Structure formats: structure tokens, C-alpha cells
Amino acid sequence: MSDATAGPVILVVDDDPALAEMIGIVLRADGLDPVFCGDGSGALDAFRRARPDLVLLDLMLPGLDGISVCERIRAESGTPIIMLTAKSDTADVVKGLETGADDYIVKPFDPKELTARIRARLRPLAVQNGFLQIGDLSIDATGHEVRRGDERIALTPLEFDLLHTLASKPEQVFTREMLLEQVWGYHYKADTRLVNVHVQRLRAKVEKDAENPRIVTTVRGVGYRAGAAV
Amino acid sequence: MSAPSGPRFDAARVPFGLQFAGVRRRFSDAAGSFFRIFRRSLELRIVGITVALSALAIVGTSTYMAYSIGGGLFDARVEQVTNEAARATKAAQSTFDSSTATDAAALSVLQGTVLEEIGAVATSASGIWFRRGPDTPANSSLPEATQGRVDEVVSTALSEQVTTGSLRQYWQSVAVPRSDGVVEPGIVVGSTIDVPQAGVYEMYLLFSLEDVGESLGFVQGTLAIGGVLLLLLIAAVSWVVVQFVISPIRVAAETSRKLAAGHLEERIPVRGDDVLATLAQSFNGMADSLEDQITQLARLSQLQQRFVSDVSHELRTPLTTIRLAGDVLYDRRIGFDAPTARTAELLHTQVERFELLLSDLLEISRYDAHAVDIDREPVNLVRLVEDAIEGVESLAERKGSTITLVAPGGHFEGEMDGRRIRRIVRNLLSNAIEHGEGRPIEVMVDSNEDAVALSVRDHGIGMAPADTARVFDRFWRADPSRQRTTGGTGLGLAISLEDASLHRGALDVWSEKGVGTCFRLTLPRQMDTPFGSSPLPLGPEEDPQ
């Protein structure tokens, strides 16, 4: 259909050839450019070679399991990762999210859900200008950079999105549902663990003392806000 | 009124019969509790029976011993006193025979001498009666004499025997009244004396048996004390012996209790080579085979659950491919000819149904594997029910049912797993719509101090009692021929029941054929405090209208 080189590149890591091919059909139909990798051990090479815009990663893989692959990709890049999982069991999902996956989709899923999730992670950040200041952090929306003084803090696009969303309205308390909608693009009730896990990951990077957060603070029973609690 | 006078006042008002009944009841209560203890404690029972039987034996032997010792002592005393009396009689007779006294004064002196003599011979005699025989004229010159009130105790039968009998001596047991009023045992020995110048006289000698009585009393006391000590010893010994026998039994009982409670590794230590060791060995053998079988069953069940879980997982990957393929076709069905478009539609809906079935199956297998976590959050049940009703409203409209919510209580945030409770409510609602025959459906939410409840009542086809009992069974359908519209999986109520149990709540059903069905979910306010009764009724007789 569309020009294969034109669309964003999606690395599909899945050991089931039929499912991989079917996902490929769905992705191409949506103007995306899929590349494939059939096992865990080759996934990192494929990632380096293809330099994808997003990774679709099956959790159950021969060779190296999905969680480890996720960990290794995250170690060298902030590229969005969406896990494909046959398990909706709490432990696996949370483990995947904690190793740095941005989102997850439980099998079986439908094509619309798949492309919606991918598009949500690929969507170009709304053009934002200028600098935001939160605590001792300065956020450069245009340059996609977060600094503490001269020190540059490396965030994944998702973490940047999360921090930017909170910092853009420091007076507002965001519920988990609001964050799911604005950052992840969910328009229906989804798993609020996504928010919890990524707030923890974000805090680990931007807070001086993650135990005693001052940048992203919790408002008990409601959600999160940027800056110290009043 | 002061406190102590209260009960007294009450007691005075209670009729006597009732008071008596009260006493009797208290007594029978005490007796009852004693018998309960007696029945429950084997050692007490054995010791009690042993002591009772030994006491019977000891009392028997002691009585016999006391009786024969007493008899022996008495016989010996009788022999002693009759000998003494015989010697005294003989001495008196010879004194009278050798005397030449004829006048009253001399005879009186002689009598004094004789009495002294008798006193010297019969040293243990405590009294004497010297009496004229029946044929001796009352005015004979030798007077009657008495010492120690012997005349009061001699019976006419004895004096008849003495005067008419052929033996030289007769004796009789008598009760001697002492001056202080106490009666003591004694023996009177009677004989005749021929006083040459005066005629035949009867002579009675009284001997006290008090010393014999004292000896007998001592023997009896010794026997009684010995018997009591022996009984105590027997009780102690039997207690010790019973402990020897009973402690292994107690160990066995305790072990089997632990075994029954699931500690399959519990065993009885085997000591020695006796019957108790055999008991321990066979018990341990039984426990071994029990443990083997249970472990095997547990492993099989685990394997089976694991299999169900694996199958469900394994099916997901191909199902995802099918789902994607079906949806791609479904999205393009407008370009197909009619039969192919319909095929794509059917594929789409049935894949969806298959997916539901698979996720329910996976959920049930999670419950079977005890791999379920409760995810508690503050939930307002009324709001949750409102949302759920909103979600099924279009379906209810299509079936013609109206859903009304009555919520007198339950407007608070309870700690529960919102996802599971929502699933239960949705399930109950869609069941009510499916089987409600288009008639109104009433939903009620209420709470009391320890529970919050929800009931869903339809006025549809209802079920027979046999069907009602099976309604929570997996894959069970009340009427297999009925056309399905809401596409349930047949696992919904089974999962709902598990969800309710996970909250330590209850899911109850009432149904009557042709009248309708009512499902009621009751959840405890606090998970750890069990609730007493549900705030909502179950069934039609308490229907609000």
C-alpha cells in the first residue's frame, strides 16, 4: 500500500511467524513499516540494525526472554517499547513495565487496538515552545531536554511526556485516569499500574531523593502533581 | 435498695416448689457436669472404676476380718470368764460345804467371806448376784446379795436355765447400763450353789466386755485406716498405669488430629515391641499411604490446572492471529459479496465469543490454582451498580425490560476489588435481562452494620429447585434449548461465586419456576470480620411492593 520507507519503522519481535506476518499486514495497512525478528537473542542486533521508531515485543521468546530484551534495549535507547503478552497476570506485566516497557497489550487484541497503541506512542509531541521550570529542573520542550543545572537528565520519550504533562499545569492534580488519557492515549478505563510504575521510574531519574519526592509528588487518594505538595 | 438484699427479696418471692426445683436443677447440673467429665476422661473413668471395685473388695474383706476377729475375741473372753466363774463357783461351793455356820449372823459373815473369795478368783468380774433359788424359802437364813447391779440385767430365761438346766453353768450376753447412761456389753454367767444350811442359791457373775470392745474397735479402726490407705494407693497406681497406656493413645489422637488438619508429615514415634508399638506402626503406615495418595492427587490436580492454564495461554497466540485476520476481513466486508461478508461477520463475532470463553477459562484456572490476588480499593457499591446498569441499559431496552435501582443503603466507600465486583454485578444483570422475559428488573443495594448487599430480582421464567441448586456449576445451563442472546460463556456465575468468596462474601440464589429469580450478593464491610445476616431479603415474600 503505502511506501514502505515512508512510514515509521516498527520492530516486531515475535517467535510465532503467523502472528508476526499478520501483525505486519495490519501495520502496513496503517502506513507503518514493520521489520521482524523471530527470537530473543537476535532482537538486540535487529534493533541496532533497523533503528526502529517503536518495538513490539513478545514476552515469551526463545533464546532470551522478553523482559531481558526489554532491559537491554532500554539500557541503550529510550525508543518506545510495547509488550505483547499472553499473560495479564500482575507479576509479569509489572515486571515488564518496571524494566522500561512503555505500554502493554494483552493477547488476543484487535487491529484497531494495536494501531491505536502504536500511534499513541509514536504521536509527535504537540509543538511546545519555551522552557518550563519545576523545582530545580528546567524542561526544554522544544529541545526535548531536561536539565538540573548543567547536568542533562536522559529520559525516554514517555517519561518526558509524563513530566511535561505534569509540569505544564503545576497547579493541577492529575488523576491516574487523566494521565492515562493524556500521556498514553487511552480513552477508556485502563490499567492504572502503567502510571504508578512509570512515575516510579521517572522519580528514580529526576528526584534527588526518590523516597522523598519533590518534583513529582503524590496527592493521596487522587493522583499526582508537579512540585512540592502545598 | 441495697445490693445484697436484692437476691434475698427475689428468693422470698419464689414459691417453695420452684426454689426446690432450682436446687434440684443446680444439683442435677452439677451431677451432669460431673458425668460429662467422667465420660470425657478415660483415665478418670478407669481410676474411678478401679477404686470403686477395690473399695468393694476391701470393705468385704475388712468386714469379714472384723467379724471373725470380733468372734474370736468374744469366744476367748467367754471361755476365760466361764472358767473364772466355774472356779469361783467351785471355791464358793467348797467354802459353804466346809462351813458349819447355822445362824443368820454367821451365815452373813460366811457370805461376806465367800463374796471376797469369789472376787479374788474371778478377778475380771465386775458384779455378782447371790439369789435364792425358786425352791429355797424366802425366809432362809442366808440373805440375797448383789453388787454391780447384776440383778437388773439377768433375764428370766437365764435364771430358768440355771435352775432347771442340767449343766453347771449358763451364760448370756447382756447390755449393761452404766451409771453415766452408756450401755456397754457384758456377759453374765449363772450357776447354782447348794448352801447346806439354807438351800439352793443362784449365783450370777457379771463380766464386762468393754476391753474386748476396745480391742475390736482398735482392730476395726486399723482395718478402716488400712483400707483407705490401700484405696489411695490403688488409685495412685492405677492412675500411673493408665498414664502409661493412655499417653501413647493420646499421642496417636493428637497426631491423627494434626494429620486431619493437613500436616501430612506427622508420625507417631514407635517405641518397644508391644501392642502400642504395633498401633503406632500401623498408624504410621496408614499416614504414609494417605500422604502418598494425597501428594499424588495434589500433583495430578496441579498438573491438570497447569495444563488448563498452559492451554489457555498457548491458544492465545493463534487466537490473536485469527482475531487480527478476522477483523481485517470484517473491516473490508463492504467490498465483499453478501455471503462472504456474512462469513466475515460470523467469524468476527464467534472469535469474540471464543475469546471471552478463553479468558473465563483462564480466570477459573487461576482460581483452581489458588493464584488469585485481591486488588482492594475504595468502592462505592451504589455508584458501581449505577454504572453497571448504565452499561446494560441498551441490552435491557432491546429485551423490553426496565431496570430500577432502589438503594436505601450502601452509599459509602467500601474496601473491595472493584474489577471483580463490577464483573459480578454485570453478570447478574445480564442474566436477569436474558431470563427476565422483558419484565421489570429490580436492583436493590442496602447495608447494615457489618455487611453491604446487592440483589437483582427478575420476574422471568425462573428455575425449578433442582436447577437452582446447580446454577453455580461450570458450563451448566438451565435450559439448553433456549436461544442465547447475550452470549455468556457458562462460566459467569461460577466465576462470580469465586469472586464473592474471595471477598469472604456470599452469593445466594432464590428462584421459582414461572415467578422469577433473585440473586443476592452480600459482602462484609471489613474483610476480616464475618457478617451476621444479609441486609437484604432473598425471595419474593419480602418483596418491597
* Contacts for B88 with CB less than 8 Å, ≥ 6 apart: B117, B118, B121, B122, B125, B205
- How far apart CA A89 and CA A38 sit, in angstroms, is 24
- How far apart CA B144 and CA B134 sit, in angstroms, is 13
Please report whether residue B494 resides in a domain: yes
- A61 by Cβ neighbours in 10 Å (0-12 / 13-18 / 19+) ranks as buried
Contact A107 B328 (CB under 8 A): no
How distant is the Cα of B321 from the closest Cα of chain A, in angstroms? 5
pLDDT computed for residue B373 by the predictor: 78
Residues B494 and B396 in one domain: yes
> What Cα–Cα distance (Å) separates residue B26 from each residue in A207, B32, B40, B250, B305?
76, 9, 21, 33, 59
Q: If we measure between CA atoms, which residue out of B417, B378, B390, B432 comes closest to residue B499?
A: B417
Residues B391 and B360 in one domain: no
Q: If we measure between CA atoms, which residue out of B439, B513, B431, B421 comes closest to residue B472?
A: B431
pTM, two decimal places: 0.56
Closest chain A CA to residue B372 = A89
Residues B89 and B139 in one domain: yes
Q: If we measure between CA atoms, which residue out of A133, A131, A6 comes closest to residue A144?
A: A131
How distant is the Cα of A111 from the closest Cα of chain B, in angstroms? 6
Q: What CATH number is attached to the domain comprising B362?
A: 1.10.287.130
Beta pairing partners, B186: B174, B208
A103-106/A81-85 β-pairing = parallel
User: Which of A16, A110, A221 minimises the CB distance to B317?
Assistant: A16
Residues B381 and B512 in one domain: yes
Query: Considering only CB atoms, which residues of chain B are within 8 Å of chain A?
Result: 313, 316-325, 327-328, 331, 351, 355, 371, 373, 375, 378
Asked if residue A101 lies in contact with residue A204, where contact means CB atoms within 8 angstroms, the answer is no
C-alpha cell at B219: 482392730
B-chain CB neighbours of A89 within 8 Å are 371
How many residues comprise chain B?
545
Contact A110 B355 (CB under 8 A): no
Please report whether residue B54 resides in a domain: no
CA angle, A77 as apex, A73 and A81 as ends, to 5°?
60
Please report whether residue B148 resides in a domain: yes
- Give the best residue of B315, B316, B351 to mutate against chain A (max A CB count within 10 A): B316
Contact A22 B318 (CB under 8 A): no
> How does pLDDT run across A110-164, given as a tens digit for each residue?
898 899 889 888 875 555 667 778 878 888 877 778 888 888 888 888 888 888 8
| Helix/strand/coil for B68 | helix
Strand order, beta sheet including B183-195? B145-147, B125-132, B199-208, B183-195, B169-177
Residues within 8 A of B (CB atoms), A 80-139 only: 86-87, 89-90, 107-112, 114
**Considering Cα of B88, then B90, then B91, then B92, what sign does the dihedral take?**
positive
User: Which backbone phi and psi does B275 adopt, to 5 degrees?
Assistant: -65, -30
pLDDT computed for residue A55 by the predictor: 94
Amino acid letter, residue B248? P
Please report whether residue B2 resides in a domain: yes
Residues B275 and B368 in one domain: yes
Please report whether residue B540 resides in a domain: no
User: Which of B317, B323, B378 minimises the CB distance to A86?
Assistant: B317
Distance from the first to the final alpha carbon of chain A: 54
pLDDT computed for residue A64 by the predictor: 84
Distance from the first to the final alpha carbon of chain B: 53
A-chain CB neighbours of B321 within 8 Å are 16, 18-19, 22
Residues B333 and B438 in one domain: no
Domain that holds residue B186: 62-216
User: Which of B320, B328, B375 minimises the CB distance to A25?
Assistant: B328
- Give the best residue of B317, B333, B353 to mutate against chain A (max A CB count within 10 A): B317
Residues B368 and B453 in one domain: no
- Give the best residue of A88, A110, A113 to mutate against chain B (max B CB count within 10 A): A110
A-chain CB neighbours of B316 within 8 Å are 86, 107-108
Mean pLDDT per segment of 10 residues, for chain B of length 545 residues? 42 51 69 79 85 92 89 89 87 83 78 82 81 78 78 83 83 82 84 81 85 85 91 91 84 86 83 83 88 88 78 82 91 91 91 85 81 81 90 88 89 85 91 88 90 90 86 78 63 90 90 90 85 82 48
A-chain CB neighbours of B367 within 8 Å are none
pLDDT computed for residue A20 by the predictor: 93
Please report whether residue B336 resides in a domain: yes
Residues B84 and B108 in one domain: yes
In B103-209, alpha helices (H)? 104-121, 156-164
Which of B357, B372, B387 delimits the end of a domain?
Answer: B372
A-chain CB neighbours of B351 within 8 Å are 108
How distant is the Cα of B366 from the closest Cα of chain A, in angstroms? 10
User: Which of B319, B324, B373 minimises the CB distance to A26?
Assistant: B324
Helices (H) and strands (E) in chain B, counts: 12, 12
Q: Poorest-confidence range of A13-22, A199-208, B352-361, B370-379?
A: B370-379
Closest chain A CA to residue B348 = A110
C-alpha cell at A91: 507479576
How distant is the Cα of A7 from the closest Cα of chain B, in angstroms? 20
pLDDT computed for residue B340 by the predictor: 92
CB pairs under 8 A between A and B: 51
Which of B372, B389, B413 delimits the end of a domain?
Answer: B372
CA angle, B219 as apex, B217 and B220 as ends, to 5°?
65
A-chain CB neighbours of B317 within 8 Å are 16, 19, 86, 107
Asked if residue A214 lies in contact with residue A224, where contact means CB atoms within 8 angstroms, the answer is no
Confidence of residue A82 (pLDDT cuts 50, 70, 90): very high
How distant is the Cα of A196 from the closest Cα of chain B, in angstroms? 14
Contact B324 A89 (CB under 8 A): no
Q: If we measure between CA atoms, which residue out of B98, B131, B128 comes closest to residue B115?
A: B128
B-chain CB neighbours of A18 within 8 Å are 318, 321
- The DSSP element (H or E) to which B63 belongs, if any, is helix B42-98
Contact B331 A111 (CB under 8 A): yes
User: Which of B313, B327, B328 minimises the CB distance to A87?
Assistant: B313
Please report whether residue B279 resides in a domain: yes
Q: How many domains does chain B have?
A: 4
Residues B73 and B195 in one domain: yes
Q: Poorest-confidence range of A74-78, A82-86, B142-146, B268-272?
A: B142-146
pLDDT computed for residue A87 by the predictor: 64
A9-13/A33-37 β-pairing = parallel
Residues B428 and B411 in one domain: yes
Which of B372, B387, B422 delimits the end of a domain?
Answer: B372
pLDDT computed for residue B522 by the predictor: 92
C-alpha cell at B238: 492405677
User: Which backbone phi and psi does B518 adopt, to 5 degrees?
Assistant: -135, 125
Residues B518 and B480 in one domain: yes
Please report whether residue B337 resides in a domain: yes
Contact A18 B321 (CB under 8 A): yes
CA angle, B111 as apex, B107 and B117 as ends, to 5°?
140
Domains, chain A: 9-122 (3.40.50.2300), 131-226 (1.10.10.10)
Q: If we measure between CA atoms, which residue out of A218, A192, A211 comes closest to residue A93?
A: A192
Closest chain B CA to residue A222 = B378
Residues B382 and B518 in one domain: yes
Q: What CATH number is attached to the domain comprising B194?
A: 3.30.450.20
